[in-house]
């Protein structure tokens, strides 16, 4: 598969069976997220969402940095009206809208927009040396791509307030203990571990996975009662799939299910 159309990301739709990999690729700038990179990410995710072979997507950076935030050099001279016109965070909505599960495989810095990008993914696997933070306050701004909302829901008010108001970083171990991430592994294993998790997910019914992901996000983003009704509707909907019949039938027949995504 070609990577040629992208300048700042590398995309491998068939990285492994049913697993696609997107690598943020501005290593000299610690993968600072400029507008072009985010447009490319939006496009890549939309394409992978349409690709029937893909069941799980991994977004990663390199050992030194997942991403050190939005591109400060690109934003420096902008004013509020420029930002309003560019609507720079509009591209970020695509990450949230992606129907397939996304795992962030994080090593090194996940700061500002980098932390927000990781949090917009569905799960985070991190290396021991990963660092998470919302340091925008140190450059006279605040998080703008979901940091105040998603971080608060993930780690609670007190810690989110401390991180957002002081810009302090937390290490992977603390991030794990506070529920921000799923797992910490030795530095050389973060991508392997993300692939392991992706493989497990890719064995399930893609239909059920899509509806279950949507339902967990609903819980994360709405009140309990609204979330419960939403979940129930999606649960009933899984019974419209052939995969539901296959999965239950395989259970009854004590064999491994063969899910096809229908
Ligand atoms: N934007 C643009 N360039 C960046 C960048 C960013 N967010 N982060 C790092 N870089 C660049 C540096 O300018 C440097 O480039 P040059 O070699 O041309 O000088 C290169 O990447 C390497 O960075 P450092 O020399 O600073 O590396 P370091 O190891 O000394 O420090 C760091 C690493 C602590 C991550 C430091 O680079 C840093 O503080 N970066 C900025 C972090 C930040 O404030 N992020 C929030 C951005 S705003 C935002 O994200 C808004 C939002 O809500 C979306």
* Structural domains present in the chain: 3-202 (3.90.226.10), 206-253 (1.10.12)
User: What is the DSSP pairing of strand 109-111 with strand 102-106?
Assistant: unpaired
Helical pair 206-221 and 242-252, crossing angle rounded to 10 deg: 110
Q: Of 1-5, 56-60, 131-135, 251-255, which range is least confident?
A: 1-5
Counting ligand 1 atoms within 8 A of each CB, the residue from 24, 62, 72, 167 with the most, and so the one to mutate, is: 72
Residue 94 structure tokens: 């695509």
- Is 70 a residue of the active site? yes
Cβ atoms within 10 Å, residue 138: 12
- Specify the pLDDT at position 122: 98
pTM: 0.94
**Interval between CA 71 and ligand 1 midpoint (Å):** 8
Which class for 2: exposed (0-12), middle (13-18), buried (19 or more C-beta within 10 A)?
exposed
- Model confidence over 156-179: pLDDT tens digits? 999 999 999 999 999 999 999 999
Give the DSSP H/E element, type plus range, for residue 94: helix 93-97
The single residue listed with the structure tokens 């008010």 is: 157
Ligand 1: list residues with CB < 6 Å.
29-30, 32, 68-73, 109, 111-113, 116, 135-136, 139, 143-145, 147
Cα separation, 209 vs 252, in Å, equals 21
DSSP conformational letter for 135: G
- Checking if the pLDDT of 228 tops 80, the result is no
CA 235 – ligand 1 centroid, Å: 44
- Distance (Å, rounded) from C-alpha 146 to C-alpha 53? 30
């Amino acid at each position: 598969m070609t990577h040629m159309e992208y300048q700042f990301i590398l995309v491998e739709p068939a990285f492994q069976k049913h697993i696609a990999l997107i690598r943020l690729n501005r290593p000299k700038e610690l993968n600072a997220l400029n507008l072009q990179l985010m447009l490319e990410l939006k496009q890549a995710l939309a394409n992978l969402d349409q690709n029937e072979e893909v069941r799980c997507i991994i977004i990663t950076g390199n050992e030194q940095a997942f991403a050190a935030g939005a591109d400060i050099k690109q934003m420096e001279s902008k004013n509020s009206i420029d930002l309003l016109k560019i609507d720079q965070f509009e591209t970020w909505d695509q990450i949230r809208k992606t129907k397939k599960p996304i795992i962030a495989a994080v090593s090194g810095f996940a700061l500002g927009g980098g932390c927000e990008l990781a949090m917009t993914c569905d799960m985070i696997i991190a290396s021991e040396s990963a660092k998470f933070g919302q340091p925008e306050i140190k450059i006279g701004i605040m998080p703008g791509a979901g940091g105040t909302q998603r971080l608060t829901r993930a780690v609670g008010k007190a810690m989110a307030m401390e991180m957002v108001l002081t810009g302090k970083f937390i290490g992977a171990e603390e991030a794990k203990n506070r529920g921000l991430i799923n797992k910490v592994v030795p530095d050389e294993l973060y991508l392997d571990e993300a692939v392991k998790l992706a493989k497990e997910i890719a064995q399930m019914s893609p239909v059920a996975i899509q509806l279950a992901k949507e339902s967990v996000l609903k819980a994360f983003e709405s009140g309990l009662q609204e979330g419960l009704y939403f979940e129930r509707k999606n649960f009933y909907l899984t019974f419209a799939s052939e995969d539901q019949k296959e999965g239950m039938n395989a259970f009854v027949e004590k064999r491994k299910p063969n899910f096809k995504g229908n």
